[in-house]
């Protein structure tokens, strides 16, 4: 199969976030087999480099280049990766994530291919984007034609709709982007490369986007020191790396539910730990049947992701998917296969006929599509006590769950199934509360820092006023002493003292 797209991913000290990007790409990018994927990474410490080894072991299908192991410059590495004989290329960075299905058969990609006046296809922009997080400005979509094209030069540069050159998910023609990279001065990192591209953009007047954004950037931390970018300061790269080395992954569930207005959207990660090692305590298995009645691709992905992350209490999930026998079966099979590849504890069986829930085995539960139950946001003054309440609820419900599932062979009790899902609902609410709590803490810390900065500035102004007043008085004294009146007065005082 001829490869159409070259995917180049830049990563530094963020193996955990890179794993999330690659996992989401496997799940959402239908054409991943028609692409080449290269990861150029750097680890500043042995722990960071060890974490990247885990990523490489988890996703061996991709090509990895470690900057630490070669004497080539960052520019030389990038040019080597651009030599791939593919007509199109897209750059990604490690704090991005795929959150909606995308394929190279998408109508927007086809329009991009046949439109030489279009510089790039943006995977991050779509008509619902109306705010720029980076610039903190209102940025409504410009006039879009029926193909979702627009004239990007008519949009201000401090607006994501006017940024034609980006490393955050824009697809370019390789033959057009390669000369721009070659002409750049020796750049040290992706920020310098992007800066050069922005200063020397492609001449094509138009851009094109998707009907719904396929990717999202989640700026929760910063690892490079050469450029200051706005970010949420929610989880440090060091703490995420430690969790990743301990076996934890970032859940996609809450990311899929985000309704973002910007191409950048910081949010607190929820971590979970698949039970894949021998040192895990014995935990029961769960069998689930999903009937694809009017399921969309996103519906199935949400349900599979929700189930795949429920490993705090179970060791494996045996999943039976009943296909509808329609034209979407191939897409559903690909999604199921992708989940089986990225989650080792997920065992998937495919049935090509509709299953009746009443005829399922006693240890099988029919799990039909429904929206997850979300608790309302609580008032901040009740946050601590509510977290304690949910902790107790989780503990009590989990105890009941373990009681009924004490033996994996006894997974036949409907009440135990009920307790399992109630426990998961409580856990989800608890994680949401933790996220809200963290965001409030960050907001309070930012307020304290702003207040401290205002006090320092006020003290400086006061000191400046005092210094100015002293200087003014000194000047007045000098002026008085140099005046004729002062000299006559001084001479008179001398004559008076003589007599």
Of residues 468 and 40, more confidently modeled: 40
- pLDDT score at 81: 94
Banded pLDDT at 355 (limits 50, 70, 90): very low
How far apart (Å, rounded) are the C-alpha atoms in residues 191 and 197?
10
Q: How many Å apart are CA 438 and CA 269, to the nearest integer?
A: 11
Tens-place pLDDT, residues 228-264 = 666 666 678 888 999 999 888 998 888 888 888 999 9
pLDDT of amino acid 233: 65
Q: For residue 449, what are the contacts with CB-CB under 8 A and spacing of at least 6?
A: none
In this predicted structure, the answer to whether residue 5 has a pLDDT above a threshold of 90 is yes
Torsion of CA 430, 435, 437, 442, to 10 degrees: 170
Q: Structure pTM? A: 0.72
Average pLDDT over residues 477-483: 70
Q: At what angle do helices 74-82 and 174-183 cross, to 10 degrees?
A: 160
CA terminus-to-terminus distance, the chain? 117
Q: How confident is the model at residue 373 (pLDDT cuts 50, 70, 90)?
A: very low
* Chain center to CA of 91: 15
pLDDT at 345: 66
Q: Which of 20-29, 337-346, 357-366, 385-394 has the lowest mean pLDDT?
A: 357-366
For residue 156, count CB atoms less than 10 angstroms from its CB and return exposed for 0-12, middle for 13-18, buried for 19 or more: exposed
Q: What is the CATH number of domain 5-237?
A: 3.90.550.10
Is residue 217 exposed (0-12), middle (13-18) or buried (19+ Cβ within 10 Å)?
A: buried
State the Cα torsion 91-164-207-148 to the nearest 10°: 80
Beta-bridge mates of residue 194: none
pLDDT tens digit sequence for 29-79: 999 999 999 999 999 999 999 999 999 999 999 999 999 888 899 999 999
Of 229, 220, 214, nearest to 170 by C-alpha is 214
Can you give the pLDDT at residue 420? 56
Residue-level length of the chain: 499
Structure tokens at 153: 């030069």
- 21 against 363, higher pLDDT: 21
The reported pLDDT for the residue numbered 452 is 81
Given this model, what pLDDT does residue 205 score?
Answer: 96
Mean pLDDT rounded to a whole number for the chain: 77
| In the predicted structure, residue 163 carries a pLDDT above the cut 70 | yes
Question: Which CATH code fits 275-372?
Answer: 3.30.370
214 vs 257: CA distance, rounded Å? 13
Residue 125 has pLDDT above 90, yes or no: yes
CA distance 245 to 240: 9
Percent of the chain with pLDDT over 90: 38
Give residue 440's pLDDT band: very low, low, confident or very high (50, 70, 90): confident
Lowest mean pLDDT among 9-18, 191-200, 398-407: 398-407
Q: How many CB atoms lie within 10 A of CB 197?
A: 23
């Amino acid at each position: 199969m001829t490869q159409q797209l070259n995917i180049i991913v830049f990563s530094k000290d963020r193996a955990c976030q890179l794993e999330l990007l690659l996992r989401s790409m496997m799940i959402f990018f239908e054409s991943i087999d028609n692409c080449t994927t290269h990861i150029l990474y750097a680890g500043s410490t042995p722990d960071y480099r060890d974490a990247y080894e885990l990523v490489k072991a988890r996703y061996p299908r991709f090509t990895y280049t470690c900057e630490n192991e070669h004497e080539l410059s960052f520019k030389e590495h990038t040019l080597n990766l651009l030599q791939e004989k593919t007509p199109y290329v897209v750059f990604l960075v490690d704090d991005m994530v795929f959150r909606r299905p995308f394929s190279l058969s998408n109508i927007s990609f086809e329009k991009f291919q046949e439109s030489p006046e279009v510089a790039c296809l943006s995977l991050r922009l779509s008509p619902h984007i109306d705010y720029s997080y980076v610039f903190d400005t209102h940025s409504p979509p410009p006039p879009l034609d029926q193909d979702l094209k627009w004239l990007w030069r008519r949009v201000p540069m401090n607006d994501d709709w006017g940024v034609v050159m980006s490393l955050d998910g824009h697809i370019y023609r390789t033959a057009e982007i390669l000369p721009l990279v070659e002409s750049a001065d020796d750049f040290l990192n992706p920020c310098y490369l992007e800066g050069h591209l922005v200063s020397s953009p492609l001449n094509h007047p138009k851009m094109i986007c998707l009907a719904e954004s396929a990717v999202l950037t989640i700026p929760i931390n910063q690892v490079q020191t050469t450029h200051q970018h706005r970010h949420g300061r929610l989880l440090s790269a060091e703490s995420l790396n430690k969790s990743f080395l301990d076996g934890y992954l970032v859940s996609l569930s809450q990311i899929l539910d985000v309704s973002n207005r910007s191409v950048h959207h910081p949010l607190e990660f929820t971590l979970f730990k698949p039970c894949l090692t021998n040192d895990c305590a014995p935990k029961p298995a769960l069998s689930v049947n999903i009937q694809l009645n009017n399921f969309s691709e996103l519906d199935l992905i949400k349900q599979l992701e929700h189930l795949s992350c429920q490993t705090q209490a179970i060791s494996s999930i045996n999943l039976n998917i009943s296909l509808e026998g329609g034209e979407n079966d191939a897409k559903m099979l690909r999604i199921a296969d992708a989940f089986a590849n990225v989650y080792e504890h997920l065992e998937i069986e495919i049935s090509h006929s509709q299953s009746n829930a009443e005829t399922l085995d006693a240890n099988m539960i029919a799990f039909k599509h429904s929206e997850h139950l979300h608790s309302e946001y609580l008032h901040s003054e009740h946050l601590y006590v509510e977290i304690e309440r949910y902790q107790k609820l989780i503990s009590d419900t989990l105890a009941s769950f373990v009681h009924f599932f004490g033996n994996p062979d006894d997974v036949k009790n409907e009440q135990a199934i009920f307790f399992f899902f109630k426990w998961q609902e409580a856990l989800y609410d608890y994680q949401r509360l933790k996220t809200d709590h963290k965001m409030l803490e960050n907001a309070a810390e930012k307020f304290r820092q702003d207040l401290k900065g205002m006090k320092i500035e006020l003290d400086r102004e006061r000191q400046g006023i005092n210094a100015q007043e002293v200087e003014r008085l000194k000047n007045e004294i000098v002026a008085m002493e140099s005046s004729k009146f002062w000299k006559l007065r001084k001479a008179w005082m001398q004559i008076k003292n003589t007599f």
